Homo-oligomer: A and B are copies of this chain.
Amino acid sequence: MSDILKNDLFLRAANGEVTERPPVWLMRQAGRILPQYRALRAKLSGFKELVETPELACEVTIQPIDELEVDAAIIFSDILVIPESMGLPYEMIPGKGPFFPDTVKNAADIAKLVEGQPAADELQYVYDAVKLTKQELNNRVPLIGFAGAPFTIFCYMIEGSGSKTFSKAKKLMYQEPVLAHQLLEKITNTTIAYLKGKVRAGADLIQLFDSWAGVLNNNTFRTFSLPYLQKIATALSAEVPVTLFAKGAWHSLPEIAASDCNVVGLDWTTDVKWARQQVGAKQVVQGNLDPCALYSDADSLKATTIQMLKDFGPHHICNLGHGVYPDTPLDNVKVFVDTVKAFKYDDIAATI
């Protein structure tokens, strides 16, 4: 579909082209930073109504395109639709976060999970939201589909909620590695079927979020997370560009880059020049401003952003290194986006 997109900057960059400037979007751009999101959200019964109603998901997905004029939309959804499709429903508790009344505790719990296409078929409301959003976007910008990484979903399925250590989930890895891999395999199969469904519905790119990779070290990451990220990247990248964002997996950037992914996501703790050394000048990377830099004054924010763009050089998709925080001043979000949009790689070349 990229040939008919009015703004295909993101797709060109993700495919490895040197673009005139980096494309820019923000993780969590469809959310509480926007007054129009907060207004809509206040009228609803809860978060899941938004996720499960295609017309509403479409509306909030497009809000940041109208308000911020970023270079990509990301379908409004949640990574936890996958465990729900496999048989573990989640609740979103205001002020607390996700909660699973049932969790995976043993082999029997893993055996009874639905997986693969039958699980993915439960998520028709997501495919409908993608289809509708593609239609409403009218090719203004590409649409990103996403999923949680298998390890992150595994954490939630065992722990049942967020955790500082995810020690219950890691306990299964250490005590019953065979069972842990069985569960990860089931999540992976479901995620592949789900993401293929999103691509069929119209998603132009895919991003995987390994939000809890940071509780692993290089050995456990390469054993319990990376192989499954690779499998999904291989299955999807023949169809659309794939971004792998493993937060906290600084120790494995070359290994992530060596997978079939197109783009390596970087969190805000990763030094730009160091990251470039790890993955090479031609690897497309995404990130990675500290979301808290958007609290600073406009001049500082602008200077920090430009320095980051220069340090990354081409083959860069500009973003924060984490989802934008809900209390970020909207004006500063606009300073960030507009600074990137006014930047030209030619200007750096001229000053060298």
Contact = CB atoms under 8 A, between A and B. Distances in A.
A39 to B, nearest CB: 23
Contacts of A292: 165, 167, 170-171, 173-174
Oligomeric state, in copies: 2
Interface residues of A, number: 35
Contacts of A274: 218, 251
Contacts of A248: 269
11 contacts: A162-B164, A165-B325, A167-B291, A167-B292, A167-B325, A174-B292, A174-B296, A217-B290, A248-B269, A250-B250, A251-B271
Contact of A269 (B174, B214, B327): B214
Given A216-B269, A217-B269, A295 B174 contact: yes
A162 to B, nearest CB: 8
Nearest to A162: B164
Instruction: Give the top 4 A-B pairs by smallest Cβ distance, nearest first.
Output: A170-B292, A174-B296, A171-B295, A174-B295
Nearest to A218: B271
A250 B252 CA distance: 13
Given A170-B290, A171-B295, A250-B251, 19 more contacts: A162-B164, A165-B325, A167-B295, A167-B327, A174-B292, A174-B295, A174-B296, A175-B295, A175-B296, A175-B297, A215-B269, A217-B271, A218-B269, A218-B274, A219-B271, A248-B269, A251-B269, A251-B270, A251-B274
Contacts of A215: 269
Contacts of A330: none
Contacts of A175: 295-297
Main secondary structure of the interface of A (DSSP, over half): helix
Interface of A: 162, 164-165, 167, 170-171, 173-175, 214-220, 248, 250-251, 268-271, 274, 290-293, 295-297, 300, 322, 325, 327
Interface hub of A174, A214, A218, A271 (most chain B Cβ within 10 A): A174
A153 to B, nearest CB: 18
B170 A295 contact: yes
A164 B95 CA distance: 13
Contacts of A171: 292, 295
Nearest to A323: B165
Nearest to A165: B325
A179 to B, nearest CB: 13
A268 B174 contact: no
Contacts of A270: 217, 251
A92 to B, nearest CB: 16
Nearest to A296: B174
A327 B269 CA distance: 31
A146 B150 CA distance: 39
